[in-house]
Structure 1
Amino acid sequence: MDSDQLTELILALQMIKGVGPKTVLKFFDTVKPRLILENFRNMHRNSTINRRINEGALDYQKWKSMLADARELMEKTRSYGIQILNYQDADYPDNLRSLNHYPLIIYVKGNVKALQGPSVGFIGTRRPTELGYKMAERMAYQFAKDGLTVVSGLSVGTNTAAHTGALKAGGTTVAILGHSLEQPIYPKENKDFAQEIIDNGGALMSTYSLGAIVRRQFLAARDEWESGLADGLVVVETDQNGKTESALQHAFKQGRPVGMLDHSQCPKIDDVMKIEQAIGNQEFIRKKRAMPLWDIDSLHRFEATMTKSREEFLKKSKRHKRLAEIRLF
């Protein structure tokens, strides 16, 4: 079974109501993908799919139509200059594959190699303080100078500052989007900026197939992959609506190191607790759940921590890949 056949099968299976990545991998544990393509009877061996067959929602002809739709989707996606990677492809990011939960298919515009190698994620409020914006740009600049790819979400505010810092350093940056890649860029004010990222050796990535317009839940869901794609996560400043907190929790669950801008080290700030965007950071730093970031030495310490963690992620990724190969072959 080649890469395109596996991609086609995954896309078609996920067209079945109630079938997502976990169901697909569980099915592959039971039946090798090649046999699923060869004999429709094997579809009965998955309880979710068997239920759809018994309900009359799926039969042999409908399944053949789904496979044809999957092939057409692949062709149309590529016509937009979008690359499709399944979780077994060589260019699929090792960091994503190291997760307990990862997307089976990702879509990439630009340099797919930008998704590999040492990287650091940036999150934070869309309304940072002047200090927060400047420090996001400066930290991203330094990380990029040190050879790390900067991963963020292209939103205004903190994300834009991080991408900008990486580009100013002549480095590479990746933007993870909450819509499919043929759609107009969100936010619209960053349309030209997105192209600049691609033109400078970076990439846009999405887990959404053609036709997925930007939605609030899609923007929230992509937070999981911002930390998952990176070796560690930098939180510049937090908001009060819980969005940054939600993204941060993904990093903790994934075992990613977390660093936070430490406003208390700024000599111009008398009372850091009067800065709304800094309160969350101070709490996590105080509890030692995040490393304080301010000067270049603190950034280098965080880099060393990420390097050590990356070694563990890569081992886990290789184990997942070997297990997947057993399923497939």
Structure 2
Amino acid sequence: MDISKETELIIKLKLLPGFGPKNVELVSKAMVKLGLFLDDDIKAYVQQCIKTNYIRINKELTSEQYQKAIDEAKRIIDTSLNNNISIISQNDSDFPIQLKELKSYSNGKFKDVAPLILNYRGDLSSINNKKSIAIIGTRKPSVEGEEAGIYYGKYFAEKGYNIVSGLALGCDTIAHKATLNVHNGTTTAILAHGLHMISPKAHEKIAEEIVEKGGVLLSEYFYGTPAFKTYFVERDRLQAGLAIATIVIQTGIGGGTMHAAQATIDNNKILSAVSYRELQVRELENVRGNDYLIKRGAFPLRDASVLYDFLQTGQNLQYKPKDSEMQSFF
């Protein structure tokens, strides 16, 4: 197990103080193109970029800060590899191509939000050699939601799809477990923290089973990084990005699931929401978001085979703008 020199360079740049994703991307691309991979090259080239206004940072870095970033990068790499965690970047051939074009729409324009780095444990071929479907939803599903999660997870795993979710309580775990019960079923858990831990801790056994059965634990955060609230929102875009379609089992109007749903829409992928027959289920606080998404243009899902057939056509869906539709929903 090893990492590429391009990836190692990106890790070192990411650890420089005040170096955001855009600066890392600009500098790393230029240095790779010029073949500059030595530690001494980093300080010299970054200083040149600052001097020529190729990049901007708030405060000039000291020699000690450059060295600290380099040392920390080497520690993270060694610790990760010693714990069977691989690190790849967009420069590597096995980096999931689905994530290279990831976009986010806000203020009337699209922004590149593709991850530069991925940390993973398991078999990445389950992502690269299979189509994926994300199955997500509330941490507190109703009985109907639990049944739906099992049904759709099992159906699409049996059809050969890799099932993507976030290993959270509720709908996520239901989808992972349903997949693991399918012969040769593979599932990917995208985590909002470093792979030194599993959150919640009670799901450690499920995480191990995911890896043992050919799936992947995936994160854009380095070994040792704790789970911050904002990371769960950032993580959601990767769920949508990996998948050709996202299935929402149950969600409230303001649920965290909405972040992944919006990422699905922003990237012009298929968003599907389970449509429950019973009005009393649809009106539950943790389910009302399903009807809202369907009103915005999400595929109303009941029979899994209908969505499966639709996916074979390669057709797209037309979604309504978020703001105007939100007003008309109430």
State TM-score, norm by structure 2. Answer: 0.82
Determine the structure 1 residue equivalent to 2:94. Answer: 91
Report the Cα distance in structure 1 between the residues aligned to 2:34 and 2:165, rounded to whole angstroms. 34
Q: 2:62 aligns with which of 38, 54, 58?
A: 58
Determine the structure 2 residue equivalent to 1:5. Answer: 5
Superposed CA offset, 1:73-132 (max 9, x none): 211110011011111212111111122321111111111212212000111100111111
Determine the structure 1 residue equivalent to 2:73. Answer: 70
Counterpart of 2:84, as a letter, is G
- Cα gap change, 1:155/1:98 in structure 2, threshold over 3 Å: closer, same or farther? same
Superposed CA offset, 1:110-168 (max 9, x none): 11212212000111100111111111111011111111000000011000111111112
Report the Cα distance in structure 2 between the residues aligned to 1:133 and 1:49, rounded to whole angstroms. 52
Determine the structure 1 residue equivalent to 2:299. Answer: 291
1:119-130 pair list within 5 angstroms:
119-130=132-143
Determine the structure 2 residue equivalent to 1:143. Answer: 156
Report the secondary structure of 1:162's partner residue: helix
1:152-191 pair list within 5 angstroms:
152-170=165-183, 171-183=185-197, 185-191=198-204
1:186-265 pair list within 5 angstroms:
186-264=199-277
Tell me the number of residue pairs that the alignment of Structure 1 and Structure 2 aligns. 299
Contact kept, 8 Å, 2:17 with 2:65, in 1: the verdict is: no
Report the Cα distance in structure 1 between the residues aligned to 2:299 and 2:201, rounded to whole angstroms. 34
- Cα gap change, 1:187/1:63 in structure 2, threshold over 3 Å: closer, same or farther? same
* Structure with the higher helix share, 1 or 2: 1
Report the Cα distance in structure 1 between the residues aligned to 2:34 and 2:225, rounded to whole angstroms. 27
Superposed CA offset, 1:272-296 (max 9, x none): 5433333221222234x21011113
Q: CA RMSD in A?
A: 2.5
Cα distance, 1:49 vs structure 2: 8.9
Contact kept, 8 Å, 1:36 with 1:42, in 2: the verdict is: no
Report the secondary structure of 2:273's partner residue: strand
Report the Cα distance in structure 1 between the residues aligned to 2:259 and 2:217, rounded to whole angstroms. 22
Contact kept, 8 Å, 2:188 with 2:216, in 1: the verdict is: yes
Cα distance, 1:304 vs structure 2: 2.0
Structure 2 residues not aligned, in runs of 5+: 103-111, 317-330
Structure 1 residues not aligned, in runs of 5+: 310-329
Superposed CA offset, 1:21-45 (max 9, x none): 2222222455535236464432234
Contact kept, 8 Å, 1:30 with 1:45, in 2: the verdict is: no
Contact kept, 8 Å, 2:126 with 2:186, in 1: the verdict is: yes
- Cα gap change, 1:141/1:5 in structure 2, threshold over 3 Å: closer, same or farther? same
Determine the structure 2 residue equivalent to 1:109. Answer: 121
Report the Cα distance in structure 2 between the residues aligned to 1:55 and 1:297, rounded to whole angstroms. 56
Report the Cα distance in structure 1 between the residues aligned to 2:60 and 2:305, rounded to whole angstroms. 63
